[in-house]
Amino acid sequence: MENKDIFKKGISRRDFMKKTTLAAGGGFILSSLPVGQSAYAAGNDTLKVAVIGCGGRGTGAANQALNADPGVKIVALADLFRDRLDSCYDTLAQRHLETGRLDVPEEHKFVGFDAYKHAIPLADVVILAAPPGFRPAHFEEAVKAGVHMFCEKPIATDAPGVRKFLDAAEIAREKKLNVVLGLQRRYQTNYREAFKRISDNEIGRIISGQVYWNDAGVWVRHREPWMSEVEYQVHNWFYFTWLAGDLQLEQNIHNIDIANWYIGEYPVTAQGMGGREVRTGKEFGQIFDHHFVEYTYPSGAIISAQCRHQRNTFSRVAEHLQGSRGTVVLDSSHNAVIRDYNGIVRYEHDGMDDPNPYQQEHDELFAAIRKGEVIDDTDYGAKSTMTAIMGRMATYSGRMITWDDAINSNAQLMPDYVGPDMEPPVKPDENGYYPVPVPGVSEPH
């Protein structure tokens, strides 16, 4: 039974875990092709790149792709909004236009809900950086076209989207396509070095941990007079669950993924709490401003996952894990410290000179393409996405959620059809406020 069947049928967690593979590193090398079979083995061959989603992350990823390999050329841009596409182009042009490596004529600038369908066929590699709700459809289209990809996280905002992604991932493996996901800690030196030591039993079996994404929050994009309701929600996508998945999926997934990776397991249950206390305006759509989830793993390990967007409160983005013999503390600032329970430091990583993990993802992606190797991050990307969805289901409903609840859920947030004439899945009331989940009342979704 393949991954797609595991998600589609109401089977047990045990069967699911037997049939899937836990990738133990930043990029799982599935296979290596003879150099003669690699279309891009020669370093002077051009790799044409299309960018799907031209916001800040898409623009940054495009620049990193250009920095990763001298043979990379950006040939197409696609976004729902023309001003965002133009901003991306102008930013890239400041560095790369004179080199000839930004080669996007007007006819290769695509705007609209179906823009990705026009841009992907022009490329050898695509960057998928549109809002997460669109990811399964964009990923499926890229797989059909047979192109390699850098795919931002999460891979979906609901369980049906994860299943759709995994259907396409099977075909991607058959086609030997590279898929690097934007869980960049897997490509970050301090996390990799600490993982080696955890694997060598430096702190013993991990029994508990606390993972954090607590900060003041991100941008808010206001409604323009010309926007339809759907266009406004996509414009301000971070604050709508069908598009972003809430804080667990969009941000806390990074920290949750580290817990999953280091423990070597995925949770059995999740329970927790969350709500909106501070960020209550209509401009904040429908998502919570805080969540606290307790995940229990098959080994008995318990991880507490915090995420919060509230100004002037305790801020931390990091992972603290406790083992039977010691502890490890990690953060995105390239630090890692391992101590035993006598307080003695067993390992300390000061990564001031470490490579940028966002750049490292692209360096390894394009190197793999050149070598005829295949990096496949889809397995752990799907599982950590499901872990985060599981946490959201727990906080939205106030219930204990099992892994089986999550993987078998038919709660579909992302509509099958997305276009300018669609009915948005959530609508404002007469005062402009959107429906917000109520723990103890709302169903898990």
Quick: pLDDT tens for 163-212.
999 999 999 999 999 999 999 999 999 999 999 999 999 999 999 999 99
- What pLDDT is stored for residue 203 in this prediction? 98
- What pLDDT is stored for residue 35 in this prediction? 34
pLDDT at 406 over 70: yes
User: For the residues 79-86, what does the mean pLDDT come to?
Assistant: 97
Q: Is 189-357+386-407 the same fold as 3-185+360-376? A: no
Backbone angles phi, psi at 246, to 5 degrees: 80, 180
Using CA of residue 405, residue 408, residue 410, residue 414, what is the dihedral sign? Answer: positive
User: For the residues 253-268, what does the mean pLDDT come to?
Assistant: 98
- What pLDDT is stored for residue 17 in this prediction? 57
Rounded CA-CA distance 164/121 in Å is 20
Task: Kindly report, residue by residue over 280-305, the tens digit of the pLDDT.
Answer: 999 999 999 999 999 999 999 999 99
What percent of the chain is modeled with pLDDT above 90? 87
More confident residue, 43 or 414: 414
Rounded CA-CA distance 119/425 in Å is 27
More confident residue, 322 or 8: 322
- What pLDDT is stored for residue 13 in this prediction? 63
- What pLDDT is stored for residue 420 in this prediction? 85
Decide if 315 contacts 216 (C-beta within 8 A): yes
Q: What is the pTM of this model?
A: 0.92
User: For the residues 319-340, what does the mean pLDDT come to?
Assistant: 96
- What pLDDT is stored for residue 40 in this prediction? 54
Q: Domain 3-185+360-376's class? A: alpha beta
User: If we measure between CA atoms, which residue out of 444, 361, 369 comes closest to residue 401?
Assistant: 444
* Sequence spans of domains, the chain: 3-185+360-376, 189-357+386-407
Rounded CA-CA distance 357/362 in Å is 9
**Secondary structure tally for the chain: helices H, strands E:** 15, 17
Q: Which CATH architecture has domain 189-357+386-407?
A: 2-Layer Sandwich (3.30)
- What pLDDT is stored for residue 263 in this prediction? 98
Task: Kindly report, residue by residue over 335-393, the tens digit of the pLDDT.
Answer: 999 999 999 999 999 888 999 999 999 999 999 999 999 999 999 999 999 999 999 99
User: For the residues 91-116, what does the mean pLDDT come to?
Assistant: 96
With 0-12 / 13-18 / 19 or more C-beta atoms within 10 angstroms meaning exposed / middle / buried, residue 420 is: exposed
